[in-house]
A and B are shown apart, each in its own frame.
Chain A
Amino acid sequence: MHRLTLFALSTAVLAGFSHVAQAQDKLTVYTYESFTAEWGPGPKVKEAFEATCACEVDFVSVADGVALLNRLRLEGGRTDADIVLGLDTNLTAEAKDSGFFAPHGLSTDAIDIPGGWSDDTFIPFDYGYFAVIYDTDAIENPPTSMHDFLKGREGMIAIQDPRTSTPGLGLMLWIRKIYGDLASEAYEELQKRVLTVTPGWSESYALFTSGEVPMVLSYTTSPAYHMIAEGTDRYQAAEFSEGHYMQIEVAGMTTKGADNPLAAQFLEFMMSPAFQDVIPETNWMLPAAATSEPLDPVFDKMVHPEKSLLFTPEEVAENREAWVEEWLEVMSR
């Protein structure tokens, strides 16, 4: 009896949490959680787009890119999303196979990323490079190549688990791209350099900034945050001569979104300066198309890899499981 009242009460109270937006023109965007945070790109993007369309943008956020695809799978195709924003190219092949996405039918000439872009379903909104970030207070001779880093003895690194984290997967693919079938020997060397492997980026980065470990796997743009938001250049990215592995973040239109004219309009808007201007200093990634003004000079100080490394989405989809297993086998020894 009491329990029933409680349930009724809690349901009633909590139903108040949910906003039932019934606007006529509504665009539902699924994205990852740090995109919609108050300091993230979400609020500004929403404002800018709503100014052009007289519509309402509704963000639904989940933990990360992987969770995004998962969400669609759990929904079994009957999704609320018109746009899914935040997958990366390691997931796009599987996302395409799922049949949840519709071709965008837009020209992607505006997209300007290393290696170019052509895909009929997904459009990039930003990109970045993975990098070893080091603490200049603790590391005197930062590594200058992956080889140098793996063989090096100065300081340890915190990395992420490719089974649970996108950057973790990125490092694995990076090594795989450089060493090919010799990757397992490289992992053996890597293992000696690793202090710990965390489930996600946050844990390892927190270990790094708390001084526990002098190196961490992150992005070339990470130092920009510390320079702009904290005014310190203590943390730097190490440039590797073999090149850096890329992460390209994309958005796509769902089959439901194909019926909503706002969806294509949003993707078009995503390639425009109004959207791209927001990216660098909110998402701390590099814009995938022209911005209206040059980026903060701090971004010029970042590492600009001479060579960008990337597997095609199909290669990743085909080999990911086997490669992760190989990584696991060596790293578990």
Chain B
Amino acid sequence: MAALVAALFLVLLAGGAFLPLLLTALPGAGGRLTDALGDPVIWRSLRFTLVQAVLSTGISLLLAVPVAAALHEFRGFPGRNHVLRLFALPLALPQIVAVLAIVGLYGQRGVWSRLAESVGLDFPSIYGLTGILIAHVFFNMPLAVRIALGGMASMPAEYDRLAHQLGMGFAARFRHVLWPFMRPALMSSASLIFMLCVTSFAVVLTLGGGPRATTLEVAIYQALTFDFDVVRAILLALVQVVVTAFAYSLLTRAGGSVSSGFTVGALRPFAVRHTPGGYLAAVLVVSFGVLFVLTPFVLIVWRGLSADLAGLVLQDSVRRAVTTSLLLGTLSAVLAVMLGLAFAAGVTRRAAARRFSGPQTGAERLFGQMSSLILVVPPVVIAAGWFMVIRRFADVYAAAPVMVVTINAAMAVPFAIRLLQPAALSAAERYDRLCRQLGLEGFDRLRLVTWPLLRRAIFLAFAFSLALSLGDLGVITIFGSQDVQTLPYLILQRMGSYRTQDAAGLALLLCVMTMALMMIADRGSEPNRAERTDRS
């Protein structure tokens, strides 16, 4: 039921955007339909869109597997929590800020490039597919790691013990124990990453080196803004949704699902014995991953420090933007988590109906996975459509913040689902029967069973949704409200009027803010002391 409401919400949001646009465009549309579909430029950009998205997803996953495995195996890793927090940060960066940082490292005059040149190595140009892939891996590899770790966290602790008793080496344990838990999580992150890359815009244009590298999203933007060819924009948006849905269903089929089994839960985490070689390999893998994700941030901090930070913080507009960002970000994150929970509950109920075994039903796939398709509906289309609707009935300026919250929340739902789903499923699978036997339901069940089990996942989903909303430029430009200026909006505004230094300072501010929020969310996700003593 809750899942239906949540699904309806997303369908309404997307459908409500298409309908008014179609109504204005339809009279006299006829010939332009075939016109758009016969355009070779469209097909070329579609092909490029898919190629770069597949490659970006593949490489992100390929790198995420060893990093996630190393982080899972060595839970006592020094600074592991900081690494996990760091891995949530890229999402909060507006694309252009990340692009500039990546160029500062790998570009013509980049830090690494000059370093390579100084030792006589030829550093290849990043403009083209290379640059696009670097940027997309930077955004998405950490995401895949977090989701994979979430999947593995639902593994019963006994499995480690058993593997140890059987004398399994790392290779065997990876194959028989870790991988079965990692694979569904990886595939679920793969579909997410794929969609994020399909809609990539600023990264692809800026690092692509020219119009050879063009995604459909660019064509949609062009059609809707420069040409105001609404029919074409809608048509291309539909092509994008349908093609992604197809690619997506292939991915989910490859994912499969996993039964999380029964755990006593009270056992202390079991220390897996490690060889020095294994430890060294893990250190290397994690260091590489951290270095790759951290260095752009180091550059952002470095550049930000040269700005007049004190002056910036004192500016009214900056303070207002920070407040607005926090307020809107928090609201959309809360909404996203609620919607995510509703979806997870729906899927869990259906999974319970098939006793957590056998293939997923159509309804499960629809709720858990296809809802993510909202990500590939271009925000310009949603914003333009809703603008037309809202204008008729209400004040658009007042509605602007509500729309920002709603659209950002909808865009964060796919992330939230992926982080909440594994935890919700395993909670239900392990405790459903017990709860029923004990007659535990309603609020008591929520307090005693669901909340303690889902708490980590909820906070994590909240943190990710918040990061995503903080970094999103949103739809605010379409609504044109002076009063709703977020921090990323301000960054772009400063960059647009020669104030590069200010923009660098604001980017630093955004990073610090997000990092602080991550730490707060992490703290919240830890079980409190009373509970801990209870358990031991």
* B44 CB within 8 Å of chain A: yes
- Provide the bound-state CA to CA distance between A68 and B99, in Å: 27
Q: Are A74 and B387 also in contact (CB < 8 A) when A3-B338, A15-B398 are?
A: yes
Query: Is the pair B331, A60 in contact by a Cβ cutoff of 8 Å?
Result: no
Query: Is the pair A59, B206 in contact by a Cβ cutoff of 8 Å?
Result: no
- Provide the bound-state CA to CA distance between A207 and B500, in Å: 10
Chain A, residue nearest B335 (CB):
A6
* A302 CB within 8 Å of chain B: no
Chain B, residue nearest A13 (CB):
B327
Chain B, residue nearest A58 (CB):
B482
Query: Is the pair B218, A163 in contact by a Cβ cutoff of 8 Å?
Result: yes
Q: Are A10 and B206 also in contact (CB < 8 A) when A33-B493, A225-B498, A328-B41 are?
A: no
Query: Is the pair B41, A6 in contact by a Cβ cutoff of 8 Å?
Result: no
A20 contact set on B, CB distance < 8 A: 395
Chain B, residue nearest A76 (CB):
B24
Contact of A73 among B207, B228, B338, B499 (CB under 8 A): B228
Query: Is the pair A212, B103 in contact by a Cβ cutoff of 8 Å?
Result: yes
* A198 CB within 8 Å of chain B: yes
* A139 CB within 8 Å of chain B: no
B218 contact set on A, CB distance < 8 A: 161, 163-164, 199
- Provide the bound-state CA to CA distance between A164 and B226, in Å: 7
Near A by CB (< 8 A), chain B positions 90-108 give: 96, 99-100, 103-104, 107-108
Contact of B498 among A3, A19, A38, A284 (CB under 8 A): A284
Q: Are A74 and B495 also in contact (CB < 8 A) when A36-B482, A206-B503 are?
A: no
* A96 CB within 8 Å of chain B: no
A73 contact set on B, CB distance < 8 A: 228
Stretch of A121-129, A188-196, A291-299 with 4 or more beta carbons under 8 angstroms from chain B: A188-196
Q: Are A19 and B335 also in contact (CB < 8 A) when A13-B327, A202-B492, A205-B498 are?
A: no
- Provide the bound-state CA to CA distance between A237 and B498, in Å: 15
* B513 CB within 8 Å of chain A: no
Stretch of B74-82, B208-216, B234-242, B350-358 with 4 or more beta carbons under 8 angstroms from chain A: B208-216
Q: Are A212 and B387 also in contact (CB < 8 A) when A196-B210, A203-B99, A205-B495 are?
A: no
* A102 CB within 8 Å of chain B: no
Contact with A along B486-507 (1 / 0, CB 8 A): 0000001101111110010000
B334 contact set on A, CB distance < 8 A: 6
* A197 CB within 8 Å of chain B: yes
Q: Are A6 and B338 also in contact (CB < 8 A) when A60-B480, A203-B96 are?
A: yes
Query: Is the pair B484, A62 in contact by a Cβ cutoff of 8 Å?
Result: no
Query: Is the pair A197, B388 in contact by a Cβ cutoff of 8 Å?
Result: no
Near B by CB (< 8 A), chain A positions 149-171 give: 156, 161, 163-164
* A119 CB within 8 Å of chain B: no
B44 contact set on A, CB distance < 8 A: 332
B498 contact set on A, CB distance < 8 A: 205, 222, 225-226, 229, 284
Main SS of the interface on chain B?
Answer: helix
Query: Is the pair A202, B209 in contact by a Cβ cutoff of 8 Å?
Result: no
* B526 CB within 8 Å of chain A: no
Query: Is the pair A33, B96 in contact by a Cβ cutoff of 8 Å?
Result: no
Query: Is the pair B384, A206 in contact by a Cβ cutoff of 8 Å?
Result: no
Task: Beyond the given A17-B401, A38-B315, please list 17 additional residue pairs across the A-B interface where CB-CB is below 8 A.
Answer: A67-B225, A70-B224, A74-B387, A74-B391, A163-B222, A191-B210, A196-B127, A205-B498, A210-B104, A210-B109, A212-B107, A212-B108, A212-B110, A321-B227, A328-B211, A332-B41, A332-B214
Query: Is the pair B205, A62 in contact by a Cβ cutoff of 8 Å?
Result: no
Near B by CB (< 8 A), chain A positions 199-235 give: 199-203, 205-207, 209-213, 222, 225-226, 229
* A312 CB within 8 Å of chain B: no
Output the least CB separation between B342 and chain A (Å). 8
Output the least CB separation between B147 and chain A (Å). 25
Chain A, residue nearest B489 (CB):
A33
- Provide the bound-state CA to CA distance between A81 and B189, in Å: 45
- Provide the bound-state CA to CA distance between A312 and B518, in Å: 54
Contact of B317 among A38, A156, A209, A325 (CB under 8 A): A38
Query: Is the pair B500, A206 in contact by a Cβ cutoff of 8 Å?
Result: yes
* A319 CB within 8 Å of chain B: no
- Provide the bound-state CA to CA distance between A325 and B219, in Å: 12
- Provide the bound-state CA to CA distance between A64 and B279, in Å: 54
28 contacts between A and B (CB under 8 A): A6-B331, A6-B334, A6-B335, A11-B402, A14-B405, A17-B484, A18-B395, A18-B400, A20-B395, A61-B480, A62-B477, A70-B224, A70-B228, A71-B480, A76-B388, A161-B211, A196-B127, A196-B210, A201-B496, A202-B495, A206-B96, A206-B500, A207-B100, A207-B206, A212-B110, A328-B41, A332-B41, A333-B212
Binding site for B on A (CB under 8 A): 2-3, 6, 10-11, 13-15, 17-20, 30, 33-34, 36-40, 59-63, 66-67, 69-71, 73-76, 78, 156, 161, 163-164, 191, 194-203, 205-207, 209-213, 222, 225-226, 229, 284, 321, 325, 328, 331-333
Q: Are A199 and B206 also in contact (CB < 8 A) when A37-B493, A206-B503 are?
A: yes
B500 contact set on A, CB distance < 8 A: 205-206, 209-210
B226 contact set on A, CB distance < 8 A: 66, 163-164
Near A by CB (< 8 A), chain B positions 495-528 give: 495-500, 503
Query: Is the pair A202, B96 in contact by a Cβ cutoff of 8 Å?
Result: yes
Output the least CB separation between A111 and chain B (Å). 25
Query: Is the pair B398, A18 in contact by a Cβ cutoff of 8 Å?
Result: yes
Chain B, residue nearest A11 (CB):
B402
- Provide the bound-state CA to CA distance between A252 and B104, in Å: 42
Query: Is the pair A194, B398 in contact by a Cβ cutoff of 8 Å?
Result: no
Query: Is the pair A164, B107 in contact by a Cβ cutoff of 8 Å?
Result: no
Query: Is the pair B109, A74 in contact by a Cβ cutoff of 8 Å?
Result: no
A39 contact set on B, CB distance < 8 A: 497, 499
* B483 CB within 8 Å of chain A: yes
* B201 CB within 8 Å of chain A: yes
* B248 CB within 8 Å of chain A: no
Chain A, residue nearest B324 (CB):
A17
- Provide the bound-state CA to CA distance between A80 and B195, in Å: 37
Query: Is the pair A325, B41 in contact by a Cβ cutoff of 8 Å?
Result: yes
Query: Is the pair A203, B206 in contact by a Cβ cutoff of 8 Å?
Result: yes
Query: Is the pair B24, A332 in contact by a Cβ cutoff of 8 Å?
Result: no
Chain A, residue nearest B41 (CB):
A328
- Provide the bound-state CA to CA distance between A164 and B225, in Å: 8
Q: Which of B5, B96, B110, B224 is the most central at the interface, judged by chain A CB atoms within 10 Å of its CB? A: B96
Contact of B497 among A40, A78, A226 (CB under 8 A): A40
Query: Is the pair A207, B209 in contact by a Cβ cutoff of 8 Å?
Result: no
Q: Are A197 and B104 also in contact (CB < 8 A) when A34-B493, A163-B218 are?
A: no
- Provide the bound-state CA to CA distance between A96 and B395, in Å: 27
- Provide the bound-state CA to CA distance between A206 and B99, in Å: 11
Chain B, residue nearest A204 (CB):
B206
Query: Is the pair B100, A210 in contact by a Cβ cutoff of 8 Å?
Result: yes
Q: Which of A59, A196, A207, A225 is the most central at the interface, judged by chain B CB atoms within 10 Å of its CB? A: A196
Listed from nearest, the 7 A-B pairs whose CB atoms lie closest are: A14-B401, A18-B398, A202-B495, A163-B222, A62-B480, A63-B477, A17-B483
B335 contact set on A, CB distance < 8 A: 3, 6
* B221 CB within 8 Å of chain A: yes
Output the least CB separation between B401 and chain A (Å). 4
- Provide the bound-state CA to CA distance between A30 and B478, in Å: 12
B24 contact set on A, CB distance < 8 A: 76
- Provide the bound-state CA to CA distance between A11 and B405, in Å: 10
